[in-house]
Each structure stands twice: as C-alpha cells, then as structure tokens.
Structure 1
Amino acid sequence: MPGIIAGRTIQGLGAGCNMAMSFVLVVDLAPIKIRPRFQSALVVNFGLANVVGTLIGGVFVDRLSWRWDFWFNVIVGGVAFTLDLILLKETVDLKGVSMKDKLKRIDIMGTLLVIGFVCCLLLALSWGKMYGWGSGHSIGPFVAAGVAFIVLAIVETRVAKEPVVPPDLLLNPSVAIFYMYVFCFGLGFVSTLYYGPIMFQAVFGAGSIESGVRLVPYMSCLIVSSVSSGMMLNKFPYVKFYIVIGAICNIVGFGLFYTVNEYSNWAQQACYIMLCGFSFGLSQQNCLFGVQTCAPKKYIAVATSLNQFFMMLSCAVGVAICDTLFREFLKEEFSSLDPSISSVAAKYGADSNYLYIRDMPPEYQQPVIHLYMAALHKVFTLPLVVAGIAVICALCAKNVKYGANKPPQSLPAQQEKSTTTLDPQKDIEIEQDDTNRTLDNEEIEEKKQASIV
C-alpha cells in the first residue's frame, strides 16, 4: 500500500500539471474566436477518457489483473511524454537566464503551503471516519489545515512577489463566483462518477464492465453539450446564459436521480444521469471562459490554472466526503437490520463490501440491497445540496461577454514565436499577457482559421 500511495502521488503531480497546462496552452495558441472549439475538444477528450478508461479498467480487473490498469497508464503516459517532447515548442526564450534567477520567480513557500493545506484537509476527512471525528487523528489535521490556510493568506498578500494564488484574483467578486460555481460542480460530478457505478454494482448487480457502460449516456451528453455550447458561443457569447441553464439542469437531474431505487428500470437511470452529464458539459468550459474574461490580462494563465485547481480540489474533497457519508450511513442502516440477516451479511462480508452481496443466499439479498440503496440515497443528498448552491452562484455571476477583454493588435502564438530574452541582472518578469495573445485583425484571423480548422 505505501508503494501504491507513493506512485499515485507522483502520478497525480504529473496529471494535475498536464490538465492545467493543456487549458493554458489553448489560451496561448488559439485566437479568441476559435478558442471555444479547442477547449471543447479538451472537454470531449476528458469525457471520452473517463468512459473508455472505465471500460478498459473493468476489462483488466475482470479478465487479467488490476496491475494492468497501472501498466496501461505507463504505456499511455510514455506516448504522451514523447508527443509533448516532440511537438510542443517553447514560446519564450530563456537563454542567458540562470537557474537561480528562474527559481527566484517560483513561489515555493506558497506552493508548499497549498500542498500542506490540501493534504491536511484530505487526511482529516479520511481519518475522521477511521478513528472518530473527536480523535486527535481528525482534529489535528483540521487544525493544521486551518493554520496552513492562514499562513498561506499572509504569504500570498505580503511576502510573495509572484504569488501562486494571486489575491487580486480571489478578491475579484466576478472571478470568485465562477470559482465557487466550479467547486460546487466538481463535488456533484465526482459523486456521480464514483458512486454511480457503486450503485449499479451494489443495487442492480452490474459487473465492472457493465457499470462502466452505464456511464456512457452520462459522458455522451457531457460531450454533446460541451461541443454544442462551444459552437454557439461565437453566435451568443454571454457565458452566464449557459451556466445558468447548466445549473438548472444539474439540480433537476440530481433531483430526479435521487428518486432512483432498487426497482427503477434502466431507462430511468440513464435519462436522469444524462441530464446531469448535459449540465456538466454545458457549465465546465463556459465557467472557464467566464474566468478568463473577468480576470486581469496578466493573470489569464494563473486564473486558468486555478480554475482547474478548484475543480480537482472539489473532486478530491468530494470523494473523501462521499466515502465518509457512505460508510457512516451504511453502518447506521445495518444497525437497524434484523440480526439474523445482518449476521449472514457479516459472514459473507456483504456488510462492508457490496461485491459480496450476490454471494449470499437469495432470500437474504433483497434486504441488504435495500440498505445499500438507502445509504446511497443519503450520499446523493450532497450533490443535490451543492447543485442548489451552484444555481445561486450562477444567478449571481456577472453577465460577461466572452472575448470582451481581448487586447488590440496582438499576434497569435502560431504565427510568431517570441524571441524575448531576459536580463538576469533585473527582476525577471515575463508578462503573462503573452499567454493571452490573440488575433484581433479579422482578415489575418480568417486566413489562419482555414489552416487550423
């Protein structure tokens, strides 16, 4: 287990960097007019990867070994590394700048404090269900997370020259509302992505592969709504319209999904979860467009990365909270079960692992299935609540017009590679406006579109 944890930590560092930088590169390389198409493509890839990865993982677990899930990632990661090395070209010339000068620009203290805050928060949520919420294992990390957060705020506002979390962004009400919206959507997304398959397996008896197949409608609607909203954005560029519709669809979808029980048919399950997927695809990238429009130009890259950070943080927090709720509610439900049934469930291990429910004698299975469904119902209260908060955030968001902050007469990154050289004797300040370089000259842009598209 320590080896798995260490490996996943390293993998998470790389994956988090790649996800954030993918969106930042789109900002740098694509003109504003066609940028929605490329960001839609990233969301589509994300959706397809979730579906295909789930299916492949299920096949490996059922037919080969769980270790193949990790070997497969080594192969795919190697291909991605090779493509990045060959195809990506640096747009800023850093020759003549010493490593010391480069390191000075990194907010090392802020980065470590962010990592410490997130780790302590997740440890507190994980250890609370293991050792009890009143134990030192839970209270200690919560206190440490609070201290790390306070120190981080002081460092970012008073110490760091180039803060990793710029206060100007988080104190900007328009940007902060979009971040809150993203965080709420991440909590709902992860509860569906992780606990949807658990429901399919525990309640409806689906296998690993089938539970992945049942997520296909969810991801299909996510892809369709993402692509269609990206195409519509050029015609109607007001992002609030899309995220309000997405938020309303989200709360309706989770409200309907909350009514699913062990007697619901496949059509009900698919239709309800499709609505949730539609809302997520409609909201995710348009929220990012809102952040990029409201943020100061020099913070476009940082604002884009922070949008992904809050999304990933909400997913991590959501998994920890949902797991805690599921375990606590399941324990509570089993405490009220008839002792003769609970003893049989304990004998087969079904009281702690839903995969063993079908190993029990048939006459004992239905009461246990009902308990799992009751526990999952309570877990699905979380995405329903945060969906309501997301609606409030969407209504309070600024009705910005996408692309309204584009600078005049700027050149696209595809057309001209920057040959900027930095003086190591001076404070090295690479203008982050370079990441927002866009084409304002319509004639040149139309010619470029033909070659890009």
Structure 2
Amino acid sequence: MSPEPTSVEKVDADQTMTAAEAPPPLPGAALGTKRILSIFVGLVLAVFVSALDETIVATASVKITSDFNAFALYSWIPVSYLVAINSAQPLYGKFSDILGRRPVLVFGLVIFLLGSAGCGWAPNMPFFLAARAVAGIGAGGLVGMAYIIISDLFPIEQCPKYQGFLSGGFALAAVLGPVLGGVFTSEATWRWCFWINLPMVGITLVAVLLLLNLPSRKINSYVNELKRVDVIGAFFLVATIACLVLPLGLGGNFWRWNSPQVIVLFIISALSLAIFLWVQLRVAAEPIIPVRLLKNVGLIAAWFTLFFYGMAFITFLYYVPVWSQVVEGMTPITSGLQLLAILGAIVINGFLYEHFLKLADYLPFPPLRTMLAVGCSIHLLGAILIGSTFTPHLPKGVQVVFLLIYGLGCGMTIQTSFISAVVVVDPMDIAMANSLAVLFQNLGDATGLAISGAILRATLQAGFRKISADVVNPSTLSQILDNPDLINQPGFLPDAARGIVKAQFVKSLQLVFRVTIAFAGVALIVGFFTRPPPKEQKGGSDANGDNEENGGGEANGRTGVEDDVEKNLGSSKRESSGSMDTS
C-alpha cells in the first residue's frame, strides 16, 4: 500500500501554497550511507518476513492439516491469513498518516509476531487458523509501510534504487520459501515455518525502534484526525468479504448449499456490500474507494484482472504441492523445489520486465495493453497445460516446463496490471489506485482458494463413496480424508487399494486445475478492457502539451509509458511527503 495524498484533497484547485506551507525537504537527502543502510536493515527484513510467510507455508500445509487431522480445512490456512490482510490493509495507510509511520509499522510487526508464535505453538486447527488471522492483520501493513517510508525519505528519481532492495527481499523470499518449508517439514517440524519469524521479527523491531527516526508533523487534534478514518466502510467491507468466503469454502462440505447458514451468509454479504457502497457514496468524508475511481473503466479492469489472476495463481501455488506430495509421493523438499519453477519464473520476469516493456514500445499497438494481452495469454496457456496434461505418468521434466511457462505468464500479468492501474489515474489518486489493486488481488486469492477447497473436498467425498467397503474400509477413507499423508505411509494400505484411492485424488485435483483454467481465461478477457496511458490515447500528446516537449511523442518509436509512470508516481509521492506524519 502507498500513502494517500490527503493534503491535495484539502487544497482548493485555485489556491496556491505559500512558502511556509510548502512540503519540507525529503529527509533522505541528509542521511549518510551508514544511516541509510541501517534503516534498510529494518525495512528489507519487514518485507522479507511478510513475503516468506506467504510462500513457506505452501509446501508445509499438507503436513499441517494431516497432523491436525483436518485436511478439510486445507484451503483455510491461506484464506484466514488473506481475509485478515484484506481487512487491515485499507486502514494502515490512513492510520500512519495520523499516528506516524514508525508506530504503525511497529504495531504491524508486533501483531505479526504474536500471530506467528500462535501458529508455531498451536494445539489444534481452530487455534492455528485464528493465529493465522492474527498474523494476517499484522502482515497487512508491513510491505505497504516499507514502500511508504521510502517514498517519504527519497525523491522519485532515487526511489527505484531503494525500492530495488525491497524487491530483492521479495525475490529472496520467493526462492527460499518453498524450499525452507519443505526442509523444516521433512527434517524437523512444520512449526519451524513460524518459529523462524520470531528472531527475524525481533531483529526488525530493534532496527525500526533504534534506527528509524523520521520527522513528524504536528497534530492539533487526534480525535478530529481519527474521524477521517472510514471505520464504518472498513467494517462492512470486511463483512462483505468474510460472509462471501465462508459459505464458498464450507458450502457443499460442512453445510449443504441450501442450508440456512449458507443462504444467510450470502444475504449478509450482499447487504454488507450495498451498505459499503452507500457509505462510500454518501457518508464517508474520506472513503476507502473514492467515487471518482469507480467511474474509471480502465482502472476497474486492471483491478479485476488482478482479482481473477489471484484466483488462478493462488490455486496452483497451494494445490500443485498437494498433487506432488499426495499423488506422486514427493517429499515436501522436492515439492518445494518443483514449486520454484513458478516462483522463480516470476522473479526472473521481474528483472527482465523493463526490457520487455521497451520492446513493446516499438510495436504498432499500445505497449501496456500488448504486454497485458501477451502476459494473460501465456498465463492462460500455462494454466491449460497444467490443467489438461497433469497425470501421474507425465514426466517430471515436462511438469517443470509447464510450471515455468505458467510462472512467466504470472510475472508479466501482475507487473502490467499494476502499471495499468497507475497510468490511468490522476497523480493524486496513484496511492489509492495501487493500494486497491493489492486489495483486489488478495480478494481473488481468498475467493479462489475457498472455491477450489470446496471443489476438492466435495469431489473427494463423492469419489470415496464409490469405493467398495470390501476394497477400503469407510473408516479408513474417513481417516485419509482428514490426513492424506496416510496414503503413502508404508503398510497403511495394500498397493491395489492405494492406487484406487490415489485415482480419486487425481480426478479431484484435475477438476480443481480445470476450473482454474476458467479463472485465467476470465483474467484475459477482463484485461482487454484496460486502457492505455493518456499519451497513447491521444496519439503521443496529452492535455499539457507533452507532445511538443518530448519531440513528437512517438517520433522515435516511443509512446512515453515509462515517462507517464514516473511522472504520476513522482507527483503522488512528493505531494504525499508534505502531509504525512512520518514519526
């Protein structure tokens, strides 16, 4: 999440700033190399632990649910975390404007620490899921606050250099997470996936408290400032999400689809959404989603591209390990290495993306829309290859190639979708547009996992009912449904029975993968509704006469995409830095 430029909204269009009201110089200019490095120890660690927590659990989740005999709740390990992140994220930026950057970052770290500790010592699955939700509330502010602090400290021309350190933390977590999760699960205990956060968060807290001393602005009345926070809107947004995800994940398994619980929750979700929109339109002084953004077709398309992308990506991230460990009998370590094909391709794409974008500038089509069309197409192709060809007899090398193709599409899709959200709004709305883009992706993650979990559970139950009691005892099947690790446990099942049970897992997971193809297909369709930047829409010129200033815009085969991004981001960050409390 990025800071919201509240000062811009307070100044009338025809009002000019006096010298006294002008934003103060960015404090990063006065910092020495040692001080900058000290600050980045805390910020990079905050980003690293948050990103690591998302990837390290993917390869450990099968073992976690098996140990608790709760495989039915497999999808809820990430869902509980993501719903909590979505609930907290919209409020972190606003509270940091009022209370300061450092106190809010420290709050997020402490809550994340408590949640990680709860997961590590969880005695049962309900406690574990509750602790995951607590960790999600804390994680909702870690990454966003790190990027906001960089925007506060440094001018736009220096931000990419320092943001590169944070991106390095993401990349390292993406590469290490699945492998570490596999190592801890196989060689020690899955609980180390959460215990490892304790010393790292502790170091991060010390670094932030001792080294992150930033200037602050004076607050005359915290009561008046807190009234700006759209608490009512946030409450009904959370209610909308929770009451939608719960019946999607539990319907058809724990509850019948026509049960009162499912119907009531869907009704509450719809009513909460209506109230949320009414609050945004009529009540909130500073709404979570400003009305002007809802009128921007290109922005809405970018958000929903991320939503459906998230539905597909998170499904493969969590259910490819189920395939590897349950169907093919891989160890968690090998499963984690296999998952690197997706995550590694995303990281590599991040390093090469700028070059891809420059090449797209020379094509006779809007470069961003071209990049998004190519990315979503590769993303869909990878999903089709995985969903239609994964069988127990498919060579492992071919599986890795298909996962690499999918990962390349993921990297290109997510990068271009975020840029597409940035370039179609005014500079004062950049932070909000970007923040809501993250929110929509997380919503897609939670929704996709809830749906895929319900499909897997329902199809497994139906398949197991078809297995004769003479082949596998129903009580044994019930045990396997709660603890799929038992399938590959020596002596638990005869070889013939093991093959029959695995066949049901194959059919169920293949159905999940095929449904994921539909998610990726919708992302491609929605992506066509995104809009090019203003310069591209106006043939190389914009309302401010940039065509003349840039020598004709496209005279050199360039469309100015990168210039638009940098100009918008620069305006947003500079305007924000003058009004934010950065203590």
Give the 3-state SS of the residue equivalent to 2:532 in structure 1: coil
2:282 aligned residue: 158
145, 158, 167: which one aligns with 2:269:
145
For 1:29-178, what aligned pairs fall within 5 Å after superposition?
Answer: 42=166, 45-86=169-210, 88=212, 90=214, 93-128=216-251, 129-178=253-302
RMSD over aligned Cα atoms: 3.1
305, 330, 350: which one aligns with 2:460:
330
Give the 3-state SS of the residue equivalent to 2:390 in structure 1: coil
Give the 3-state SS of the residue equivalent to 2:254 in structure 1: helix
Structure 2 counterpart of 1:103, one-letter code: L
Give the 3-state SS of the residue equivalent to 2:189 in structure 1: coil
1:247 aligned residue: 376
1:404 aligns with 2:564: yes
Residues 240, 269 of structure 2: 8 Å contact kept:
yes
1:379 aligns with 2:512: yes
Indicate the larger mover: 377-386 or 72-81.
Answer: 72-81
Give the 3-state SS of the residue equivalent to 1:350 in structure 2: helix
Residues 289, 402 of structure 1: 8 Å contact kept:
no
354, 365, 390: which one aligns with 1:260:
390
Residues 422, 568 of structure 2: 8 Å contact kept:
no
CA offsets 1:220-268 (integer angstroms, 9 cap, x no match):
1111112100344466563222221110101111111111101111011
CA distance in 1, matches of 2:436, 2:313: 18
CA distance in 2, matches of 1:31, 1:65: 45
Structure 1 counterpart of 2:376, one-letter code: A
CA offsets 1:123-168 (integer angstroms, 9 cap, x no match):
2223322122111222222111111100000000111111012222
Structure 2 counterpart of 1:113, one-letter code: F
CA offsets 1:312-350 (integer angstroms, 9 cap, x no match):
111111111111010011122223334433427826833
Structure 2 counterpart of 1:378, one-letter code: L
Residues 372, 412 of structure 2: 8 Å contact kept:
yes
CA offsets 1:142-198 (integer angstroms, 9 cap, x no match):
111111100000000111111012222232101000001000110111011100100
CA distance in 2, matches of 1:40, 1:9: 29
Structure 1's 333 and 141: CA in aligned 2 closer, same or farther, altered over 3 A? same
Structure 2 counterpart of 1:115, one-letter code: V
CA distance in 1, matches of 2:162, 2:299: 22
1:281 aligned residue: 411
Structure 1's 140 and 203: CA in aligned 2 closer, same or farther, altered over 3 A? same
464, 470, 482: which one aligns with 1:340:
470
CA distance in 2, matches of 1:409, 1:262: 48
CA distance in 2, matches of 1:390, 1:143: 27
Count of aligned residue pairs for this structure pair? 421
CA distance in 1, matches of 2:199, 2:343: 24
What is the TM-score with the length of structure 2 in the denominator? 0.66
Structure 1's 72 and 399: CA in aligned 2 closer, same or farther, altered over 3 A? same
1:296 aligns with 2:456: no
Structure 2 counterpart of 1:254, one-letter code: A
1:445 aligned residue: none
CA distance in 1, matches of 2:437, 2:503: 39
Give the 3-state SS of the residue equivalent to 1:158 in structure 2: helix
1:367 aligned residue: 500
Residues 43, 281 of structure 1: 8 Å contact kept:
no
% of aligned pairs identical?
26
Residues 226, 281 of structure 1: 8 Å contact kept:
yes
Structure 1's 312 and 80: CA in aligned 2 closer, same or farther, altered over 3 A? farther
Residues 308, 520 of structure 2: 8 Å contact kept:
yes
What is the TM-score with the length of structure 1 in the denominator? 0.84
Structure 1 counterpart of 2:264, one-letter code: G
2:318 aligned residue: 194
Shift of 1:50: 3.6
CA distance in 1, matches of 2:422, 2:570: 17
Residues 156, 573 of structure 2: 8 Å contact kept:
no
Structure 1's 107 and 388: CA in aligned 2 closer, same or farther, altered over 3 A? same
Indicate the larger mover: 12-21 or 244-253.
Answer: 12-21
483, 498, 503: which one aligns with 1:353:
483
Structure 1's 232 and 35: CA in aligned 2 closer, same or farther, altered over 3 A? farther
Indicate the larger mover: 231-240 or 367-376.
Answer: 231-240
Residues 229, 242 of structure 1: 8 Å contact kept:
no
